[in-house]
């Protein structure tokens, strides 16, 4: 019995650091994706997306389509019709279920449509599902759900210049 307990404890101690490292890797991937979006770096964001990823947005012509190209098209359309966009997250949680990783929480997206000078804020919840490919965590599915019926012109999330 004692041997069995020692074996179980050894396995748990060996797995815990690996899970912590993977959570750190997912956190870094997620934070890199957010930074890329806020910098207008679509290619940097797409570097975090799996080739066969699914994207489910509250709006957008490619919502529910599969593939990195569909994701790229949706974000290109967004960047082509908006200016001064800022994506902020809060209450972000990271966890694993089996060998799948998740980043989820709440978002606020502040954006100016068609250069009209009025910031509109969309708020809601997001989930990013990650899978590991060749040692790198990639987004396999992204999803967002708006919090309300319509975006609110509340505030500009972009820091003053």
Render pLDDT for 100-116 as a digit per residue (tens, 0 to 9). Answer: 999 999 999 888 776 66
Residue with token string 């975006």: 151
DSSP 106-135: EEEEEEEETT-S-EEEEEEEEEEEEEEETT
Question: What is the pLDDT confidence band of residue 78, given thresholds at 50, 70 and 90?
Answer: confident
Task: Using the predicted structure, report yes or no on whether residue 95 has a pLDDT greater than 90.
Answer: yes
Between 14-23, 46-55, 69-78, 119-128, the lowest mean confidence (pLDDT) is in: 14-23
Does the pTM exceed 0.75?
A: no
DSSP helix/strand/coil, 65: coil
Rounded distance, CA 117 to CA 144, Å?
Answer: 25
| CA 39 to mean position of chain CA atoms | 15
- Whole-number average pLDDT of the chain: 77
Please state which of the four CATH numbers 3.30.230.70, 3.40.350.10, 3.10.450.50, 3.60.15.10 is assigned to the domain occupying 2-146: 3.10.450.50
What is the tens place of the pLDDT at every residue in 4-29? 434 444 433 333 444 567 889 999 99
Q: Which two tokens stand for residue 93?
A: 């949680």
Give the model's pLDDT for residue 60: 56
Task: Using the predicted structure, report yes or no on whether residue 126 has a pLDDT greater than 80.
Answer: yes
Task: Using the predicted structure, report yes or no on whether residue 79 has a pLDDT greater than 80.
Answer: no
Give the model's pLDDT for residue 29: 92
Residue ranges per domain, the chain?
Answer: 2-146
What does the buried/exposed string (b/e) look like for 145-161 if buried means 16 or more CB atoms within 10 Å of the residue's CB? ebeeeebeeeebbbeee
**Side by side, which strands form the sheet with 49-56?**
49-56, 136-146, 119-133, 100-113, 82-97
């Amino acid at each position: 019995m004692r041997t069995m307990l020692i074996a179980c404890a050894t396995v748990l101690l060996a797995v815990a650091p690996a899970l912590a490292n993977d959570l750190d890797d997912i956190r870094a991937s997620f934070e890199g994706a957010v930074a890329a979006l806020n910098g207008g770096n679509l290619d940097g964001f797409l570097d975090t997306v799996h080739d066969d990823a699914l994207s489910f947005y509250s709006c957008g012509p490619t919502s529910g389509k599969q593939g990195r190209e569909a994701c790229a098209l949706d974000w290109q359309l967004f960047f082509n019709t908006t200016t001064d966009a800022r994506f902020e997250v809060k209450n972000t949680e990271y966890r694993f279920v089996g060998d799948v990783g998740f980043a989820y929480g709440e978002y606020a997206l502040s954006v100016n449509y068609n250069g009209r000078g009025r910031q509109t804020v969309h708020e809601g919840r997001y989930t990013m599902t990650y899978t590991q490919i060749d040692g790198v965590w990639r987004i396999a599915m992204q999803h967002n759900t708006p919090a309300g019926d319509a975006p609110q012109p509340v505030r500009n999330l972009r820091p003053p210049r």
